[in-house]
Structure 1
Amino acid sequence: MILINEQIGASEVQLTGIHGEDLGVVSKVEALAMARKLKLDLVCTSIFSSPPLCKLMGRGTAKQAIAKKQKRDQGQPAKVKEMRLTVHIEDHDYETKLRQAEKLLTAGNAVQFVVRIQGKEGPQAKELLERLLKDLAECGKKETGIQLSGKQATIKVDPI
């Protein structure tokens, strides 16, 4: 959290000028007066030090910095990428899908595997998904269990 101007609660602050020059320890009142005189904001950059570190910044610059920090903290929600397979997948194709899934998971995306089922292929589809889970154990964990429904079996894997 960044404190600006009157939000700063300390009586003294370690002040840094506009161009990074050290102005020493000054009272909060004096620092605020200096900021107003120069038409700047007094921004607390570190509340954990004693006295807190404060910097003189241009109006609006501090607000932009706060908005940027909040946006970075929120981040993007993980995207879910769908990968379709069949029960009769060959080894080379399986390895290719496995590498793609590892790339997606290490990039922070979730992967949903969908296995198409025809006839009585349900147990085989379940085995294939369990094999995928075992092979992806170091970079992903299952969010949902294996769901068999109608003509497909699905499982969602989240990044670790």
Structure 2
Amino acid sequence: MGILQLRDAQQMAVEKSLDLVEIAPTAKPPVCKIMDYGKFKYEQAKRDKEARKKQKTMEIKEVKLRPNIEDHDFETKARNAQRFLIDGDKVKVTIMFRGREITHPELGRVLCLRLAEFCKAEANIERDPKLEGRNMIMILTPLKHD
């Protein structure tokens, strides 16, 4: 339509029973469009809802271990972590130290790396094992399977 005065553009919108919507306010001159704003908002909400429907939300599942865990218990926890990773969730591995166990953080690090090795076909290490207070935390993310 070209460059119009504001009142002329508003008058055209009123004649067509539509709304005058500002598209690019920072442009010189500002860009406006005559449209049904209610219909536009409805269609935009519909597109957003459809996009959310297709989107996979990634949860963080937690596996808690102790430094002196037995082999069978470790394997059970590791299989759970594997299952979480296959389902597409992140896994937070927490090694809980009690009492004097905290004097040997290297045992927790070895346990974290052992779990990462167990799950290496399904996961990458997002965050290396790190001691935070009395807990050692490591985060595993699932590999991208296309």
TM-score normalised by L of structure 1: 0.56
Counterpart residue number, 1:127: 110
- 1:80-116 CA-to-partner distances (Å, cap 9, x unmatched) read 1111100100011011001101110100111101101
Unpaired stretches in structure 1, ≥5 consecutive residues? 1-62
Alignment pair present for 1:148 and 2:131: yes
Counterpart residue number, 1:102: 82
Alpha-carbon distance between aligned partners in 2 of 1:149 and 1:65, rounded to the nearest angstrom? 44
Alignment pair present for 1:84 and 2:72: no
Alpha-carbon distance between aligned partners in 2 of 1:119 and 1:154, rounded to the nearest angstrom? 14
Alpha-carbon distance between aligned partners in 2 of 1:119 and 1:67, rounded to the nearest angstrom? 49
Cα deviation, residue 66, structure 1: 3.9
- 1:30-87 CA-to-partner distances (Å, cap 9, x unmatched) read xxxxxxxxxxxxxxxxxxxxxxxxxxxxxxxxx59745531233332x1111111001
Alignment pair present for 1:70 and 2:56: no
Letter in 1 for 2:62: E
Alpha-carbon distance between aligned partners in 1 of 2:48 and 2:102, rounded to the nearest angstrom? 55
TM-score normalised by L of structure 2: 0.61
Structure (1 or 2) with the greater helix fraction:
2
For these two proteins, the number of residue pairs brought into alignment is 99
- Share of identical aligned residues, percent? 26
RMSD: 2.1
Query: Equivalent residue of 1:115, what SS?
Result: strand
Query: Equivalent residue of 1:146, what SS?
Result: strand
Alpha-carbon distance between aligned partners in 1 of 2:127 and 2:48, rounded to the nearest angstrom? 35
Unpaired stretches in structure 2, ≥5 consecutive residues? 1-42
Q: Which stretch has the larger CA shift, 148-157 or 123-132?
A: 148-157
